Amino acid sequence: MRLTKNELKYIQSLRLKKVRQTERKFLLEGWRAIGEALNTPAGIELVVVQSRYIDDPDYRRFIREFEARKVDLREGSEQELAKIAETVHSQGIVAVVRQRQWTLDAILKKRPSLLVALDTVSDPGNVGTVLRSADWFGVDGVLLGKGCVELHNEKVVRSTVGSLFRIPVAEGIDLSAVMGRLRREGFRCIGTAAEATDRVADIDRASRTVLVFGSEAHGLGQELRSEMDQLVKIPRYGRAESLNVGVAAGIVLAFLRSDSST
Amino acid sequence: MRLTKNELKYIQSLRLKKVRQTERKFLLEGWRAIGEALNTPAGIELVVVQSRYIDDPDYRRFIREFEARKVDLREGSEQELAKIAETVHSQGIVAVVRQRQWTLDAILKKRPSLLVALDTVSDPGNVGTVLRSADWFGVDGVLLGKGCVELHNEKVVRSTVGSLFRIPVAEGIDLSAVMGRLRREGFRCIGTAAEATDRVADIDRASRTVLVFGSEAHGLGQELRSEMDQLVKIPRYGRAESLNVGVAAGIVLAFLRSDSST
């Protein structure tokens, strides 16, 4: 079926954050990303495919899978795809996907043992990279504090490389306020701080842990820092002033998972 | 002094890779980055400052420092700065900086004990992040293989957050070809590979080490892989297919520097 003008307009409107938030939908680009989303509980509502791929044998298995899953499929021109896609890498396919909303309660009901929390991390690439690392290291859920970039921002979605669909994420969390509750539920709250005396290799391993990372510019806020059970640092051997927050989170997760220092 | 039309044209031309490469200069934006560059051997040739900052008391110490270092200072309008700057975050200041060129020989003359090599890493943010981590962990030099993004690409420069000026980097290196030489000079060549049996916590510590990272899409090329003395993996506990290469490099460096697993 051809894409209608109204559908095109609606899809274009999802490039705006406020529309994504009221509609609770977002856009996903690229064959691989959309193929991965098909195998998750993500609700794909509509897929627009550039005409020349519809009958291309290389893409037939995707088209068949969309049909099998009863995903609405629309045919669009190259120009229409260009209007919808954010990147030049859309590869001729864009999907409208329903946002999955997680609350902290819903995440806690799954009895998580390892959580990651981000405080005011505003760079979309960094948030996406942390989600991808969290997925690699088997984190059970991620809490995005107030001041973090919107989870369904196109750059966040792209840099998660599919992990967005595998990890429960709760947004807009007042992190200082929830740390007390997490502690009562048996979590040990661990933060990173340049002036910590414990090193990342000395990290406490507990049956339930929440790792908290602050913004690159300001680190953990004072209030949130006072809620931590342990502060650890990544020792510095050179002259850079700080590490990228995505890199720092990956390092802390790798040490937490390593048994070399137990 | 006012910026002339010819200067404006010349500076604009440096937004093109081929001009940067023939002129051996590049653009740097933002007060902090340019202030940091002043304290390094980087050769700042010219600084363009938006008129309203020139007499602003908050920026006086920068202006004085430019004068003390005999850096050519030009006054530009907001429109002119907008034409030069790549980002909306230029903060009203752009500098023309001379590229510092390192050869492998020049790096080896400094008797390095730890090197990082990147093979076909094309994403500028990833290369910049690796340089920043390398600077944090006290790496002595970085080798960019053929197929890596240009070092002085604006996004690389920005994501190094000043580390570009502190770490020697050689570009366009044929990595497979130089590994033999590095080994003869006493380096142990260590690469990452998903199918490695050694884990990153088991990494061999040698008096001289070169850590080699491949592209996210393809990992280390077959030829380069066969040159490695040890392959290590970052164990996976979840479902992500891979880690961001900047994160992976940070993790390997952190374990190499940690004594917890010696």
Residue ranges per structural domain of chain B = 5-98, 104-257
Please give the model's pTM, rounded to 2 decimal places: 0.93
- Asked if the domains B5-98 and B104-257 are classified in one and the same CATH topology, the answer is no
pLDDT at A259: 73
Contact call for A251 and B248, based on CB within 8 A: no
Residue A78 to chain B, least CA–CA distance (Å): 26
pLDDT tens-digit map of A221-238:
999 999 999 999 999 999
Question: Which residues, in sequence order, are CB contacts of B256 under 8 Å at separation 6+?
Answer: B114, B137, B203, B205, B209, B211
> Lowest-pLDDT range, A112-121, A158-167, A170-179, B39-48?
B39-48
What is the average pLDDT across A103-126?
Answer: 97
pLDDT at A40: 76
Burial class of residue A27 in the structure, from the number of CB atoms within 10 Å of its CB (0-12 exposed, 13-18 middle, 19+ buried):
buried
| More confident site: A113 or B216 | A113
**Chain A neighbors of B213, CB-CB under 8 A:** none
pLDDT tens-digit map of B248-259:
999 999 999 997
**Chain B neighbors of A162, CB-CB under 8 A:** 240-241
Does domain A104-257 sit in CATH 3.90.1580.10? no
Residue A10 to chain B, least CA–CA distance (Å): 29
pLDDT at A93: 93
Does domain B5-98 sit in CATH 3.30.1330.30? yes
Q: Categorize the per-residue pLDDT at B262 as very low, low, confident or very high, splitting at 50, 70 and 90.
A: very low
What is the average pLDDT across A75-88?
Answer: 86
- Dihedral sign for Cα atoms in the order B1, B3, B7, B12: positive
Which chain B residue lies closest to A139 (C-alpha atoms)? B238
**Chain B neighbors of A261, CB-CB under 8 A:** 258, 260-261
pLDDT tens-digit map of B143-164:
999 999 999 999 999 999 899 9
Residue A114 to chain B, least CA–CA distance (Å): 12
**Chain B neighbors of A139, CB-CB under 8 A:** 238
Alpha-carbon distance A126 to A122, whole Å? 8
pLDDT tens-digit map of B163-214:
999 999 999 999 999 999 999 999 999 999 989 999 999 999 999 999 999 9
pLDDT at B259: 73
pLDDT at A35: 85
Residue to mutate among B161, B203, B244, with most A CBs inside 10 A, is B244
pLDDT at A88: 65
